[in-house]
Amino acid sequence: MAVVEAQGTGGGAMAALRRAEPVVIPVLALLAGLAVFALFLLTQGKSPIAFFGYVWQGAFGSAFSWMNTLSRAAPLLLAALCVALPARLGLVVIGGEGAIVLGGLAAGAVALPLAGVPAAVGLPLMALAAMLVGAVWIGMAGALRHYRGVNETISSLLLAYIAIALMNHLVEGPLRDPESLNKPSTAPLAEGLRVGMLPGMDVHWGLVFGIIACVVAWVLVERTSWGFAARIAGGNVRAAEVQGLPVGRLILGFTALGGACAGLAGFFEVAAVHGSANASLAAGYGYTGILIAFLARHNGLAILPVAVLLAGFDASSGLIQRRMDLPDATMQVLQGIVFMAILMSDAAYGRLPFFKAKG
Amino acid sequence: MRPPVTAIGADPLPPGALEVETVGMTMRFGSFTALEDVSIRVAPGTFHALLGENGAGKSTLVKCIMGFYHATAGQLMVGRREAEIADPRDARALGMGMVYQHFTLVPSLTVAENLVISRADAPVVIDWAKERAGLEAFMAAMPFRVPLDQPVARLAAGEKQKLEILKQLYLGSRFLILDEPTSVLTPDEADEVLGHVRGLCEAGEISVLMITHKFREVTAFADEVSVLRRGRLVGQGHVADLSHAQMAAMMIGAEKEQRPVARSGLRGAPMLELRGVKAADRSGLKEIAVESLTVHAGEIVGIAGISGNGQMELMEVLTGQRAARGGEIRVQGVPYGATRAEAQSHAVRYLPEEPLRNACAPRMSVIENIAFRSFDRNGAGRRFWLSANEMRAAARDLIGAFKVKVADPDGPIAALSGGNVQRAVLARELTGEVKLLVISNPCFGLDFAAVSEIRARIVAARNAGAAVLLMSEDLDEVLELSDRVLVMSEGRITYEVPAAEAKIAEIGHYMGGHAA
Ligand SMILES: Nc1ncnc2c1ncn2[C@@H]1O[C@H](COP(=O)(O)OP(=O)(O)OP(=O)(O)O)[C@@H](O)[C@H]1O
Ligand SMILES: [Mg+2]
């Protein structure tokens, strides 16, 4: 049986500490994860100092690396929301990758007949299609959970595999552009249907929409009655039911909303980065999004800095591969270790020595 | 395994009942002092009662003894030796055990499985044939029993509490702390269980420290009593020397007790009507079936019954948590589906039992929990944007009006004492216009002053024209509050009588399931 340390409450100082806890614990967990990773590097005969030096250089060291980092942050922001929004209802959805892939595919497919249409009409239609498909995909995991009691974590993960298989099938079959020889893709988007770069930057518009989505999600959860209802249901579903809150609708709504965010990420990947839908859509953003959401404790505003940090790790991986002769998978090892640290840190709430209510 | 902890003296503790003493125990949560300089001695083989208002610090004291909290100052003596208790394992190794206000059993496992896994030395691979024989021998030697093969989820609350006590005996506890162990028992069950516990004390097997709000139990079973008020020890003595009035005076000090409210007003139109409502019970094997039940405005209908006879399921059907298989529920004459909109337009309120489990989000703040009913309302209309200021102001008013003891309203509601959680939920549900009130065990875990206050509020709601459906395992409460008494047994309403004509023996007969 665990010792339940008294959670400090009472008095302004204690209240301040309590507010600090959700920041301090993930930061400590992140640092602990990095420390373990440093040990891992030592076993590989590599210098952790050099490693983190390159991370800094590759992620934030120059204007160019900043652009690279921010470009990668855009889809990560949206992918993290796909985890964070359902999480406020107590659901652990880890299949955002599937919604990204299908969202991107939908955008690419809808673009085909829209070739001559002005961007002001075409792009919103593509984005809408992507969000709709994403919403249905993750909403399905929510519906299975609500109507059939199927665990949403498993179902969303399986749905992600199905989504990737579906995408591969379609871009290699019915939707394949015969011109795409090495890498089966849908037909390239018409020039007018490409999303451009932010003025004066080498970062596409997805970043702005990602930031807006995070802020909106935060406002929705923290400041509106829908978000409050979701938090009640996430805190104790029995209490929510006694209050007559529409738990089923909340589950469907929040999973669909998360899926729409991921679908939007897929849209930007196609319309701003790849120019057509193909296997590159399954780049793992959905999985990194899980880590970001957990590090940010499913708080929309906290996702912003965390996503930039993780995007930075991603952005620097090329440099690290080249300079340190480390395999591509190194970054995944790092992510895995940090994720474990974050999950384990959950047990630390109310127990850290300086949060303890001792006299 | 770790050796038992004994700081001073290498000799093992003497066998049989333990002596336990706290010396100057003090516990602070931040700037809030929950316990101040409390010294209590429980002599070996005695039954010691601990009384105090909600939030007086009773649970905090016993959690310090058991190592769940680390006291800010003070000492614990076990068997006249200083004991350092770092965590509950140390307490257990010394032979101290605790039975809580809420259950700690694993619902999906059977009684036998629960007992075996509770042992610190439970083997990795369990030899069930051998354990079975051991358990049967143990059960046979016990003064009361619970069927070993039942899954705990199927046990009624009373049986679960018996199992909790049996579990402690099975673990070899020689000092037992009981935190409101009888809240969930009928008076007969409570007498039976406490009688056995007392027997064990007299046999010199255990010493007992029991937290309770029931003077009757103190007088009937305890040898000595200590009283806490606002974290301080304010009285102590032999039970034989003290009257209930003296104990009550020690508990509440100078505060005045709420007088019962007189009944007034006339019975009005039917407010809640159930016709042929059926639903699966929690095991899914049996059925509850309510042929006909009507509650009128200005009337309290009490449902008496032993826990586990369908009261919980009936509550869940009324709150919309459990699907009814056929039948009809009407409120104010129109079919009722328990949505939030319907509950709000008919002014229907629910007070489920065990509010922390059924009516609160434990990790959300006290303020937020108090706002559950009103966060989306703006006067008569609906609101989309939350108003943090209004929430805070409303919570402050209600905390004051219902005298909820809260150290930090922004802290999680789970940090409140059991009785104060109950008060916070009552505050939320009893304000504003109430036309229909459905209540289950409203006074579970409340001190006597709070009990009379809450009962007065329920009667006041009735006098103001509310229809009240009260389900309670406390027969005295049903008889005191109700205008009409029903008995629920095996999922059915088996008896109905106007309260004025109710006879306890008759009702008890039907509660026991001996329908004529
Ligand atoms: N972990 C905690 N953090 C902050 N305050 C706490 C904590 N635990 C208890 N308290 C406060 O200490 C006081 C005493 O609580 P305690 O649970 O000991 O009361 P109690 O006497 O058991 O009351 P009840 O009869 O209602 O169960 C309460 O005001 C409570 O809010
Ligand atoms: Mg208590």
A255-303 pLDDT, tens digit each: 999 999 999 999 999 999 998 888 899 988 999 999 999 999 999 999 9
Shortest-distance Cα residue to atom 8 of ligand 1? B415
Contacts of B28 in chain A (CB under 8 A): 357, 359
Q: Is the CB of B405 under 6 A from ligand 1?
A: yes
> Which of B227, B231, B232 shows the shortest CA–CA distance to B248?
B227
Do B26 and B168 have their domain in common?
Answer: yes
Do B118 and B210 have their domain in common?
Answer: yes
**Cα–Cα distance for residue pair B84/B88, rounded to 1 Å:** 11
> Which of B317, B319, B377 shows the shortest CA–CA distance to B348?
B319
Q: Does B490 touch chain A (CB under 8 A)?
A: no
- Measure Cα distances from B402 to A207, B6, B196, B451, B483 in Å: 50, 45, 37, 12, 25
Do B500 and B486 have their domain in common?
Answer: yes
Asked if residue B514 is part of any domain, the answer here is yes
Do B413 and B442 have their domain in common?
Answer: no
- In chain B, the number of structural domains is 3
Q: Could you read off the pLDDT of B339-362 as tens digits, one per residue? A: 999 999 999 999 998 899 999 999
Smallest-distance ligand from the CA of B38: 1
B397-416 residues touching A, CB cutoff 8 A: 407-408, 410-412, 415
Q: Is the CB of B414 under 6 A from ligand 1?
A: no
Do B276 and B188 have their domain in common?
Answer: no
Region A6-25: what's the mean pLDDT?
64
The reply to whether residue A10 touches residue B372, judged by beta carbons under 8 angstroms, is no
Burial class (CB in 10 A: 0-12, 13-18, 19+), B28: buried
Contacts of B30 in chain A (CB under 8 A): 8-11, 13-14, 357
Do B337 and B390 have their domain in common?
Answer: no
| Token pair 């319309």 in the structure block, residue | A271
Q: Which of B374, B401, B429 is the last residue in one of the domains?
A: B429
**Cα–Cα distance for residue pair A281/A184, rounded to 1 Å:** 12
**Cα–Cα distance for residue pair A219/A22, rounded to 1 Å:** 19
ipTM of predicted assembly, 2 dp: 0.86
Which of A9-13, A182-186, B425-429, B467-471 is predicted with the least confidence, judged by mean pLDDT? A9-13
Asked if residue B352 is part of any domain, the answer here is no
| Token pair 């095991």 in the structure block, residue | B283
Shortest-distance Cα residue to atom 24 of ligand 1? B54
A230 CA distance to ligand 2 middle (Å): 30
Q: Could you read off the pLDDT of A80-130 as tens digits, one per residue? A: 999 999 999 999 999 999 999 999 999 999 998 888 888 889 999 999 999
Query: In sequence order, what DSSP letters do the residues of B95-133 get, joined into one string?
Result: TEEEE-SS--S-TTSBHHHHHHHHSTT--SS--HHHHHH
Closest atom, ligand 1, to C-alpha of B27: 12
- Measure Cα distances from B262 to B47, B240, B356, B484 in Å: 38, 34, 31, 16
- How many residues can be counted in chain A? 359
Q: Which of A5, A7, A21, A355 to mutate to test the pocket of ligand 1 (most atoms within 8 A of CB)?
A: A7
Asked if residue B353 is part of any domain, the answer here is no
Contact A83, A293 (CB under 8 A): yes
Q: Could you read off the pLDDT of A216-260 as tens digits, one per residue? A: 999 999 999 999 999 999 999 999 999 999 999 999 999 999 999
Confidence of residue A355 (pLDDT cuts 50, 70, 90): low
Asked if residue A307 is part of any domain, the answer here is yes
The DSSP element (H or E) to which B225 belongs, if any, is strand B224-229
Closest-CA distance of chain A to residue B150, Å:
24
In the A/B pair of chains, how many CB contacts fall below 8 A? 136
- Residue B250: domain span: 20-256
Phi, psi (degrees; rounded to nearest 5) at B323 = -70, 135
- Half-sphere exposure (Cβ direction) of B342: Cα atoms closer than 13 Å: 18
- Measure Cα distances from B480 to A211, A317, B248, B303 in Å: 60, 74, 20, 12
Q: Which of B429, B462, B484 is the last residue in one of the domains?
A: B429
- In chain A, the number of structural domains is 1
The reply to whether residue B411 touches residue A15, judged by beta carbons under 8 angstroms, is yes
Do B58 and B148 have their domain in common?
Answer: yes
| Token pair 């589950």 in the structure block, residue | A251
B426-485 residues touching A, CB cutoff 8 A: none
Asked if residue A334 is part of any domain, the answer here is no
Contacts of B350 in chain A (CB under 8 A): 242
Do B25 and B172 have their domain in common?
Answer: yes
pLDDT value of residue A115: 83
Question: How far does chain B reach from its first CA to its final CA, in angstroms?
Answer: 57
The reply to whether residue B372 touches residue A239, judged by beta carbons under 8 angstroms, is yes
Closest-CA distance of chain B to residue A334, Å:
31
**Cα–Cα distance for residue pair B39/B235, rounded to 1 Å:** 11
Asked if residue B515 is part of any domain, the answer here is yes
B34 CA distance to ligand 1 middle (Å): 7
> Which of B203, B154, B188 shows the shortest CA–CA distance to B47?
B203
Query: In sequence order, what DSSP letters do the residues of A177-216 get, joined into one string?
Result: -TT--SS-BPPPPPGGG---BPTTSSSBTHHHHHHHHHHH
> Which of A195, A97, A82 shows the shortest CA–CA distance to A139?
A82
pLDDT value of residue B255: 60
Of residues B360, B386, B411, nearest to A228 (C-beta): B386
Encoding tokens for residue B396?
Answer: 């402050």
**Cα–Cα distance for residue pair B87/A354, rounded to 1 Å:** 18
Q: Does B84 touch chain A (CB under 8 A)?
A: no
Asked if residue A44 is part of any domain, the answer here is no
Asked if residue B7 is part of any domain, the answer here is no
pLDDT value of residue A94: 94
Closest-CA distance of chain B to residue A2, Å:
8
Do B250 and B262 have their domain in common?
Answer: no
Query: In sequence order, what DSSP letters do the residues of B432-461 get, joined into one string?
Result: S--SEEEEESTTTT--HHHHHHHHHHHHHH
pLDDT value of residue B514: 56
Asked if residue B10 is part of any domain, the answer here is no
- Residue A103: domain span: 55-326
Partners of B27 in the beta sheet?
Answer: B35
Q: Does A249 touch chain B (CB under 8 A)?
A: no
SS3 A11: helix
Closest-CA distance of chain B to residue A225, Å:
5
**Cα–Cα distance for residue pair B258/B410, rounded to 1 Å:** 29
Asked if residue B1 is part of any domain, the answer here is no
The reply to whether residue B385 touches residue A15, judged by beta carbons under 8 angstroms, is no
Q: Could you read off the pLDDT of B245-283 as tens digits, one per residue? A: 888 888 877 666 566 677 887 888 999 999 999 999 877
Do B153 and B265 have their domain in common?
Answer: no
Do B312 and B400 have their domain in common?
Answer: no
Angle between helices A48-60 and A317-324 (to 10 degrees): 140
The DSSP element (H or E) to which B218 belongs, if any, is helix B215-221
**Cα–Cα distance for residue pair A176/A172, rounded to 1 Å:** 5
Asked if residue A341 is part of any domain, the answer here is no
B212 CA distance to ligand 2 middle (Å): 9
Asked if residue B496 is part of any domain, the answer here is yes
Closest-CA distance of chain B to residue A247, Å:
11
B60 CA distance to ligand 1 middle (Å): 6
Alpha helices in chain A (DSSP H): 11-43, 48-60, 63-87, 96-111, 119-148, 152-172, 206-223, 225-235, 237-242, 247-268, 285-295, 300-315, 317-324, 330-345
Residue A60 sits in a domain of what CATH number? 1.10.3470
> Which of B289, B363, B271 shows the shortest CA–CA distance to B326?
B289
Encoding tokens for residue A119?
Answer: 């961007």
Q: Which of B209, B231, B256 is the last residue in one of the domains?
A: B256
Q: Could you read off the pLDDT of B77-135 as tens digits, one per residue? A: 998 889 888 888 899 889 999 987 677 888 888 999 888 888 877 777 878 888 888 89
**Cα–Cα distance for residue pair A258/A286, rounded to 1 Å:** 11
Contacts of B376 in chain A (CB under 8 A): 225, 228-229
SS3 B69: coil
The reply to whether residue B364 touches residue A231, judged by beta carbons under 8 angstroms, is yes
Asked if residue A350 is part of any domain, the answer here is no
Do B225 and B366 have their domain in common?
Answer: no
The reply to whether residue B411 touches residue A10, judged by beta carbons under 8 angstroms, is yes
Contacts of A10 in chain B (CB under 8 A): 29-32, 407-408, 411
Angle between helices A63-87 and A48-60 (to 10 degrees): 90
Shortest-distance Cα residue to atom 20 of ligand 1? B55
Task: Give the global pTM.
Answer: 0.83
Q: Is the CB of B59 under 6 A from ligand 1?
A: yes
